Structures are given as structure tokens and as C-alpha cells.
Amino acid sequence: MNPFSYARASDVADAIRQIAADPAARFVAGGTNLIDLMKYDVEHPARLIDISQLPLKSIEETPEGGLLIGAMVPNSDLAYHPLIEQRYPLLASAILAGASQQLRNMASTGGNLLQRTRCFYFYDVVTPCNKRKPGSGCSAISGVNRINAILGTSDACIATHPSDMCVALAALDARVHVAGPGGARTVAFPDFHRLPGATPERDTNLESDEIITGIEIPAKGFNANYSYLKIRDRLSYAFALVSVAAALELEGDTIKEARLALGGVAHKPWRDPAAEAAMRGQHAGESAFTKAADLLLQGAQGYGHNNFKIGLARRAIVRTLSQAARGMPQSQSVKKIR
Amino acid sequence: MAQPGTAEPLRQTDVLPEKIQITLTVNGTRTGLAVAPWTTLLDALRDRLDLTGTKKGCDHGQCGACTVLVDGRRINSCLTLAVMKDGAEVTTVEGLASNGTLHPLQQAFIDHDAFQCGYCTSGQICSAAGLIAEGKARTADEIRELMSGNICRCGAYPNIVAAIQQAMERS
């Protein structure tokens, strides 16, 4: 790691003041991604501002019947919180599908959103990477791209966002609460992460002097019919090749409302209102699920090694929706896929 | 700026930031030490406090050999800055036995021959202590899943699961 100076932020206002005063500084909370990237010399901040002690560790019910999750709530505490387990089991399941318990104990809710890609070339500092060094080129497009994106890519970048939690938050219509020098604002989940376009160095629309203070999830938790299915090279403790968050509201066998989001396939959790709208009013069965998969995967493009993801994603979507419809969510400990 | 395709040199600072005084309670003993901001908890334990039971495996949070308990929760000490744990209580594998009696997990790992080379073992045992405290694992499947952050390259997994089950039954 490079030498850096260290300071602790006493409250949110202090954190914003400190980051505004030093553009070369970075916030650190759980540190599970940033410290690792510093060890690889991908990140080399001159100063770390420790926000891990900020009073953003509660999970509170909102007047609208949803929850406001403090940005510093550890991932494990969030997954095991009774209100999350009961009302938002899709979120609990997605969190428990990611990382290891040690990392979930460390990682913060806000930091989970700000994870950087796991693209091999982003980590390998001797190769070109537009995300790490803008303008240097993308090594993945013609390189080893088995883990890379098939949707929403650009000529500059085919990286994926690595989070599982964010895929569930996208499906649940979460909103991100942020604060900055100009005050507080909330960002709808689809507007938080960006597609790479010509500026892949920017992962999100969070400004450099802003801080995430919390995540709000609306009342609707889809706790009867949901599933999170993660397909990866190992049974546990590996990033998704493809993951699917599915949530259904059923009236008998008819789909009243559907939510569908993919992980491991794009620079952000991948959702398309058209795919969800197409399921509404349909019989909850393979025909509707296949049509939704086709709509969600419209425009999918492989880059060689990752061509398999397109077919894998289609089958995973149909399977996950079917698990949700049957009320038999994928277990994150018993790995057999039913 | 370095050219594309070459590593960027480390940023040079004229004066290295000063060390920061922190207090850790490690295995029940309060210890003050001055650490550089970039000193990980793992390096502080091993190099400054001579507690070399905690191992440095990958140093990137991928193997679990560095697992210790901080305020009762298992974490990867390699991805933890010591300055960020000022005031914390840390338990390493050296702190598990009491009055010369092995911790039930240590005894169970011996009873079940739950290791071969032993390099991952202290991380496995600290992780399992965290797992038992969490109380979320009941079945072998759940133990396997919630222990997936600890890699054993000798492949002693069946015996590790059996050892943890024994310790769970007796705790």
C-alpha cells in the first residue's frame, strides 16, 4: 500500500467537509474492497477518511411502511435483521449469496453499492483499462472476458458490477439517500449506477463530495414469491457469472406484478420495465417467463469467452421465476437448484 | 503519468504521515501501540505483538487464514486497518484456550484430524468460533456455506465440518 494520512469523521457534515477539502482523499467504511485495491495499487489515495463510526447504523421503519437502512449497517446485520428476514427475504437471500461471513461482517451497506468491478484487467495494473486509466484502452474486449458483461456495454468497457445485494435492491425499487455540500437528495436505484459509455471510470452518479447515508426500500417486499439464484464457478464465495432476483405478486396463478433483475451481466443491476410489464396479467408459467427472459436479454452480446452467459441467463431467469412462482426460493446453503 | 501498459509509480509524499497511537485489547490484555495508518490489523498482530498464530495467506481477503474475532465478530484482519480498530477487543487463536484447557474447537480439530499442513487452521478455528457465536448454522450444509470464507488447500473440509459439529453439540 502507498503511504496515506488518516482521519476520522465525527458526523456526516464533518465527513462532507473533509472530503471537499481534499480531492485526493477517499472515504473508508468496511474497507473490504478499497484496502484490497490499494494493495494492488489500483487505488492510491493520499488520505483516508474513516466514516465507519458515523451514526448510520440503524434500520428504521418509514412512515410509508418501508425501511430506511443506515449506510453503515454491516451486510451480515442487514441480512439477519428480523424485519429484513420477514418482509424482504429476497434482499436477505441476495446478501447471503455474496462474499463470506467474515467479509459480510465488515462490509457496509453503502459500501456494497460502491464496490468496483472484478474485471481481471481492472486489477492488473500493467494492462490497459479505461476504468482504471481513462483513455488507455480496454483489454477485456479482446482478452479473457469470460466474467465480463453482455448487456449495456460500450467500446470502452465491458466490466460488470459485482454486487449481489444491489441486484435485490434494484428489484425492490430501493432509493439511495445521499448527502453533499448542497444538502441531501435521494436517487432511484436505476439512476445510481451508470453504464460505462465513454466514461467507464465513473461507476455511479454519486458526486465525489457526496456520501451515501442510507438505502430506503418501499413497503412491498414480495415475501411470498421470490427467489435469488446465483450461478458461479464455485458453490460459494465466488462472484456471479449470472444471478437473478425474481419477485412476483400472484392472484391465483395469474401474475399481478413482477420484478426481475440480473447480476453479473452488466455495469449495473440489469432491469427492464418492459420485461416486467409483459408478465403482468399472464399465467405464471414457462411461456410468460421465457418471454420475459427474451425481453430482458434483448440486445445481449457476447465477446467470445462470455457468449455462454446469454443462454445461461435465459435459463436462469426462467428457473428463478419458476422458483418464485412455486414459493420455493433458492436456498443459499443447500445448493441443489430445483 | 505512467504510459498505458505500465504500472503507475506509488505517489511520493515528502514526509511520511506520523504514526497514530491506538489501544487494542488483545486476548484480554490492553495494549497500546503506535501504528502507521496503512498497518493492517494482521501485520500489527504478527509483527508488533508477536502473535503469529494468525496467518497471512493471500493477504487479499480470499482465503480466511487471517480470520480473528473483533468485538466478538469474525473478520479478515488482512483487510482491516489497525487504526480503524482503536479501542476494540481482538481475540486471536492464542486467546481461545483458558487456563491450559483447549477451546472445544481446538480439541475437536484434534479429535477429528481436521487439518493436514495446518496453515489455515487458526483461521478455521477463529472463524468457527464466530460461526458458533452467530448461531445461524445448524446443518452440515449451513456450516459449509458459512465457513466458505476459509479455504483449506489440503482439502480437510469433511473433517473440519465434523469438528465444528462436535464443538457445536458441546457448546
Q: Identify all chain A residues contacting B79, using CB atoms and an 8 Å cutoff.
A: 31-32, 35-36, 103, 106
pLDDT at B14: 55
Interface residue A313 vs chain B (CB under 8 A): no
| pLDDT tens per residue, range A96-123 | 999 999 999 999 999 999 999 999 999 9
Per-residue CA distances from B135 to B96, B123, B157 (Å): 18, 18, 20
Q: Kindly identify which residue of chain B lies nearest to residue A40, measuring between CA atoms.
A: B60
The Cα–Cα gap between B85 and A34 comes to: 16
Superfamily in which the A226-326 domain is placed by CATH: CO dehydrogenase flavoprotein, C-terminal domain (3.30.390.50)
Distance from C-alpha of A236 to C-alpha of A102, rounded to nearest angstrom: 13
Q: Residues 78 to 117 of A: which have CB under 8 A from any B CB?
A: 80, 99-103, 105-106
Under the banding of pLDDT at 50, 70 and 90, the label for residue B17 is confident
Enter the DSSP assignment of A202: -
Tell me the C-alpha to C-alpha distance, in Å, between residue A35 and each of A5, A168, A257.
14, 26, 41
ipTM for the complex shown: 0.97
Q: B116, B156 in Cβ contact below 8 A?
A: yes
| Predicted confidence (pLDDT) per residue in A163-177, tens digit | 999 999 999 999 999
Partner B contacted by A333 (CB < 8 A): yes
Would you kindly state where each structural domain of chain A is located, as residue ranges? 5-52, 226-326
Size of interface A-B (CB pairs under 8 A): 121
Using CA coordinates, name the residue in chain B closest to A106: B75
**B135-160 average pLDDT score:** 98
Closest C-alpha among A49, A99, A184 to residue B149: A99
Please say whether the structural domain A5-52 has been given the CATH code 3.30.43.10: yes
Low-confidence spans in chain A with pLDDT less than 70: none
pLDDT bracket for residue B5 (50, 70, 90):
very low
Task: Report the chain B residue with the minimal C-alpha distance to residue A80.
Answer: B136
Task: Choose the closest CB to B149 out of A103, A135, A335.
Answer: A103
Q: Among A50, A137, A332, select the one facing B145 at the smallest CB separation.
A: A332
Cβ pair A35:B131 closer than 8 A = no
Cβ neighbours of B34 (radius 10 Å): 11
**Structural domains present in chain B:** 20-95 (3.10.20.30), 104-169 (1.10.150.120)
Residue B67 and residue A102: Cβ atoms within 8 Å?
A: yes
